[in-house]
Structure 1
């Protein structure tokens, strides 16, 4: 088994900084990805399952992100995933690549180029890169970093690609472990389920708990996986039967 903590701690961020701490759960991985994003001057990151041809929602494929939830809503509302040059490239290639929203807009054949630029610009994500990754079972995904900085250099691309591969492998391992530990709900996951049981919407829970809607959905989705449920209603019911909430 790979000692991810030791491997990660041996890597150095720009400015000579290192990443400290264990990688024992998804929050640890989120923290490290946020550190990397900040160190390289990006607005945020996105961990994305590669959408298949029948998928019409980017938000549904987002495994973890600090990109604004409003970006995902606007992107999906405009159905920008259909005809996206980025998604098409991710489906057929495992080579990392940079993106520029303005250049990509000229390659769209569906007339949605201007809409795509507006969505990326409004979120402060006009430029960045996508790093295709995979886990031990061959499941494919990508980690994206986006922001307003200039496009990355080849050296930066190589360093970020190494970070991405290590962290996605660890994320897959953690998720596999968590899915086998049905009773190991975190405090936040239980809190979200309690509010869901009380009939609160995701937006209401986000306001009550001072979190983003994406983060609330992240905790609820993680609880759903841990309890091996198919939807939120079943997750709440299983948690109640197990005495995890009342």
Structure 2
């Protein structure tokens, strides 16, 4: 197992696009008896995912905000250790929303799996899941917790680097002042509030935000924040 995890880590660190990472994760999943993988990053109510689940299931999962009731996510975040799970153990849970989630997951071939959670910065959590349509998942292959954490972090940082390098061209990179004002905007600060905490004149703060909007082709500051988050800039 260690050698295979090492290969997964090496693959992530050498990958130059998302296609290579997705292909490597698919091959890894299949070699250990799984059919799907999902990388997930949660930050409060915000959710990012990179996975090989059916597109229809992705739309249902995100649209219904199932990460709030998904035991693979909630249990992994609560325990912060590698867990195995199976939908057959979820039957006792009572809400209609949960029952609907369970039925739809099984219908889309998500019945059991292994989830590896890792704490990120500013309260975020990253997790990597390998899922199967079978009734039971074997966690014994994932007993080396340290190697599993390294694999999740390698994938996380490589995806961020790829996003910054391939989506944001050099001419569109933000200056330090633009990035600082954008960071405060991402935290919900208005122009005047950003001016107060940074000591920059409000008109200058607005200038930096306008400049950042032009570089990232954003029409508004909320859109600027959304694009920057998608690109891993904040």
TM-score class normalised by the smaller sequence? 0.5 to 0.7
Give the corresponding residue for 1:223.
none
Secondary structure at 2:143 match in 1? helix
How do 1:68-79 residues align onto structure 2 when only pairs under 5 Å count? 68-79=54-65
Give the corresponding residue for 1:168.
152
TM-score by length of 2: 0.59
- How many residues are paired up? 177
Deviation of 1:73 (Å): 2.1
**Superposed CA offset, 1:115-134 (max 9, x none):** 12221111111111211124
**Rg comparison, structure with higher value:** 2
Structure 1: 5+ residue runs without aligned partners? 1-7, 185-225, 236-246
Q: Say if 2:16 and 2:162, in contact at 8 Å, map to a contact too.
A: no
Selected match of 1:64 from 44, 50, 68: 50
Deviation of 1:36 (Å): 0.9
Deviation of 1:103 (Å): 1.6
- Aligned counterparts of 2:100 and 2:43: Cα–Cα separation in 1: 20
- Aligned counterparts of 1:228 and 1:30: Cα–Cα separation in 2: 28
How do 1:142-221 residues align onto structure 2 when only pairs under 5 Å count? 142-158=127-143, 164-178=148-162, 180-181=164-165, 182-183=168-169
Give the corresponding residue for 2:97.
112
Structure 2: 5+ residue runs without aligned partners? 171-214, 228-234
**Superposed CA offset, 1:158-184 (max 9, x none):** 25x566423322233324434554217
Deviation of 1:145 (Å): 1.0
Change (3 A) 1:42 1:26: same
Secondary structure at 2:38 match in 1? strand
Give the corresponding residue for 1:197.
none
- Aligned counterparts of 1:61 and 1:228: Cα–Cα separation in 2: 23
- Aligned counterparts of 1:67 and 1:178: Cα–Cα separation in 2: 21
Pick the structure with more helix per residue: 2
* RMSD, matched Cα: 3.9
**Superposed CA offset, 1:128-154 (max 9, x none):** 121112458874211111112353334
Change (3 A) 1:77 1:29: closer
How do 1:91-110 residues align onto structure 2 when only pairs under 5 Å count? 91-107=77-93, 109-110=94-95
Selected match of 2:22 from 18, 30, 47: 30
TM-score by length of 1: 0.56
